Structure 1
C-alpha cells in the first residue's frame, strides 16, 4: 500500500509518515509513504502550491491523507464553509481526477491541551476537539472520503490514560507518544485490522505502547462504517435507498466514488439513470441490483423490494367497484365520494376528477400507458399502472 501525507507540522512532527510505515512493517504489512508538509499550511495553501500538486502526481497513490491547519476546522461554521471546506473538496476531487483508484483519508486532528482562548466554543480541549471532529466528518461527507479519527482516539486516551503525555510543552504538537497514537490510528484506519501486537515501539515503554494500541483498536474498529472506512482496494462503494410507493419505487443512488450506475429491477427491466423511478406491473418480491463503477473499480449491491398493490377484494371492502377494460376503466363507489387521477409512467399529471357516491364513472384510456390512482383526502386505495393495447 502506498500513502501520501499532505499536511503540516502535525504530520512532520516525529516523522509521522515513517513512524506509520515502521509500525505497519512490524505487523507484517507493506507500506510505502511520501509526504508534502509545510508548517502552518492550510488546505488553501496546499491548493496554491505547485509542489503539492507535483507530489500528488508523483505516483498512483493508494491513499492520499489530507490534514488541515490545526485550528482552521474548529473556527465558526461560516468561516469553515468559505475558508476550509471548498479547498478540502478541491484537493479531494483532484485526487480522484488524477487517479480514480486513489482514496482520500482526512487526518482528523485533536484539540489543544487547554483549548484555544481566541474563541469561547474552543477555549477548552473538549470544545475544540468536538468542533474539529464535526468539521472533519462534514468534510468527509461532502467529499465521499474516509477519516482517520485521531481526535477520537486522542480523547479516549486523555479520558482513560491521563498519565500518558500526548503533547509537547506547547500544548499543541504531539509528543512521541502522541505521534505513536496517531500512527496506531492510521494503521487501524488503513488496514481495518487490529494494531495490537505490532512490535515497533518508537522507544516507548511496553505498557504505554499497549495502551495506545488498544485505544486505536477500540475506537476505530468498532466504528468502521461511521468513519467511512472501507478496504483500500475497493474505492467504489455501492449503496442505494428505495422509497416504495406501490407499485412505483423511487431508487436513490448513494454510492461513493462512482461515475456510472446500472440498475436491474428484478422484473427484467434495467436503467442507467442516477436515481430512477420504476413502476412494477404486479405484486411480488423483487431483487434490485445496483452496479456502481468508475474507471478503476466496481461494486455491486442487491436489495429486496416488496410490491403490494391493493387487490380487488380490498377495494370492495372499501366500497369501491373497479373494472378495467382495454380502452377504459369503470369505477363506482358505494360509501363516499372519491377521486381518480391519471399520471404518465414518468409521473407527469394528466387529469383528475371526482367520483360521486353511486355514480358509475367511465374513465377512458386516452394515452397508451400511465398510472391510475383512486383516493380520498386521507388515503390511496389503488395505484395501478396500465398499458393500452
Structure 2
C-alpha cells in the first residue's frame, strides 16, 4: 500500500500543488501508531501491515515511511506521531480513545500543538487555550510538542523554504569560478557580487579580475520572498595571460570535449595556453571558421585561446574549457 498507493498519491498531490504555486510548501501529517500495535488491513483484506508488537514498533514504521517520501519530495513533516511517542514516556498518559486508534482530547490537543509549532515556527509552550484538560497536562503536552518539533537533530524539513546560502570557488590565474552550494528551493534566484563592481546571476558564474588583491565575493539567494547571503574573501595573486598583457576584450568561454571551433579573420595561427601562459597546443588557421582538435591527451581544465596574425599580432582572446 505504501509503495503502490500512498507514495504515488503523494507525488501527484505535490505536482498539483506546485503547478498552481511553485512556492507552496507541502507538509506531511506524520500520524501515530495504534495504542497496542497490531495488524491493520484495508477493507478488502488485500493489503495488511505487519503485526506490530506495540505502539513504538508501529510508530517506527510510520515515521520511516513519512520521512522517506518527505525526503524524496523535499517536503516538510509535522511530527505528530513522534510528539505522541515523547509524551507517552509518561506511562500513565492515554492519548487514544477506546478504539485504541483515534485520538482523545489530549491526543488531539497534542496534535494541534505540534501543527502550531510546525506551521508558525513558534513554540506552543505557554499557549492559553484550554480544551478542558488539567493545566499540568496541557503544560506537559506543550513541552513534548516543543521538544520534538525543535529537536536540533531532527530532520522534519521545516527549514526547507528558507534558503541557507553557501558557495565554493576555484581560482585559475585571475579568474574565479563560483558554484552555489546553498540549501535552497529549486526556484531560487542567485545573485553574485565579485567585489570589484562586477555582478552575475545563476547557480554558477565566473569572473576575471583586472588586478591582483583580495576581493569580497558575496552571494544572495532568494526564494519565495525569503533570502540569505554569504560572503567569502577571494585572493587573486596572479593574473591570467590576457590580463597580464592588457587585454580586456576576452570573449565568453567556450566549452569543448574534442573539437574546438576557431574563427579567424586575418589570423593564421591559434595557440592554446594554460592559465600560467604556457603554450600547450597550436595549429595553423585559414580565414573563416576552423575546427581544431587539440588532442585527446589534453587535460580537462580552463585554457586561453589566442589567435595570431602573420606579423604576430593577437587577433582575439577567448576562454575555453576542456571537458573530459
- 1:298 aligned to 2:220? no
1:231-252 superposed Cα distances (whole Å, 9 cap, x missing partner): xxxx953345423333423224
Seen in structure 2, the aligned counterparts of structure 1 residues 142 and 288 have a Cα distance that, compared at 3 Å, is farther
C-alpha offsets along residues 361-384 of structure 1, whole Å, 9 cap, x if unaligned? 6446889xxxxxxxxx9xx9x978
Q: Which of residues 131, 155, 163 is equivalent to 1:238?
A: 163
Say yes or no: does 1:185 pair with 2:114: yes
Aligned position for 1:130: 60
- Kindly indicate whether the alpha-carbon contact (under 8 Å) linking 1:167 and 1:175 is maintained by their aligned counterparts in 2: yes
- Find 1:148's aligned residue among 78, 83, 86: 78
Q: For residues 100 and 284 of structure 1, do their structure 2 counterparts lie closer, same or farther at Cα, with a shift above 3 Å needed? A: same
* 1:11-50 correspondence runs (5 A): none
Change (3 A) 1:115 1:189: same
Residues 144, 362 of structure 1: alpha-carbon distance in 2 compared, 3 angstrom cutoff: closer
Question: What is the TM-score normalised by the length of structure 2?
Answer: 0.63
Distance 2:208 2:66 in 1: 41
User: Are residues 1:110 and 2:32 paired?
Assistant: yes
- Partner residue, 2:127: 198
Give the secondary-structure state (helix, strand or coil) at the position aligned to 1:245.
strand
TM-score normalised by structure 1 residue count? 0.54
Equivalent pair of 1:279/1:345 in contact (CA under 8 Å): no
Q: Secondary structure at the residue paired with 1:189?
A: helix
- 1:96 corresponds to which residue? 18
Superposed CA RMSD in Å reads 4.3
Structure 2 contact 165–229 (Cα < 8 Å) conserved: no
Which structure features the higher share of helix residues? 1
Q: Provide Cα deviations, 1:85-124, integer angstroms capped at 9, x if missing partner.
A: 2321221232333345643321111122232445558544
Deviations 1:31-62 (A, max 9, x none): xxxxxxxxxxxxxxxxxxxxxxxxxxxxxxxx
Superposition map of 1:1-389 within 5 A: 75=2, 79=3, 82-99=4-21, 102-117=24-39, 119-120=49-50, 122-159=52-89, 161-223=90-152, 226-229=155-158, 236-246=161-171, 247-252=176-181, 254-256=183-185, 259=187, 261-267=189-195, 268-273=197-202, 275-281=203-209, 284-293=214-223, 297-308=224-235, 326=245, 345=253, 348-349=256-257, 362-363=279-280
Matched residue, 2:44 = none
CA contact (8 A) 1:291 1:298 kept: no
Report the Cα distance in structure 2 between the residues aligned to 1:144 and 1:134, rounded to whole angstroms: 15
Asked whether the equivalents of residues 117 and 124 of structure 2 are also in contact (C-alpha less than 8 Å), the reply is yes
- In structure 2, relative to structure 1, the CA distance for the partners of 1:285 and 1:151 (3 Å cut) is farther
Tell me, which stretches of 5 or more residues in structure 2 are unaligned? 40-47, 247-251, 261-271, 273-277, 286-298, 307-315, 318-324
Q: CA deviation at 1:227?
A: 2.3
Cα distance, 1:149 vs structure 2: 0.8
Alignment size in residue pairs: 262
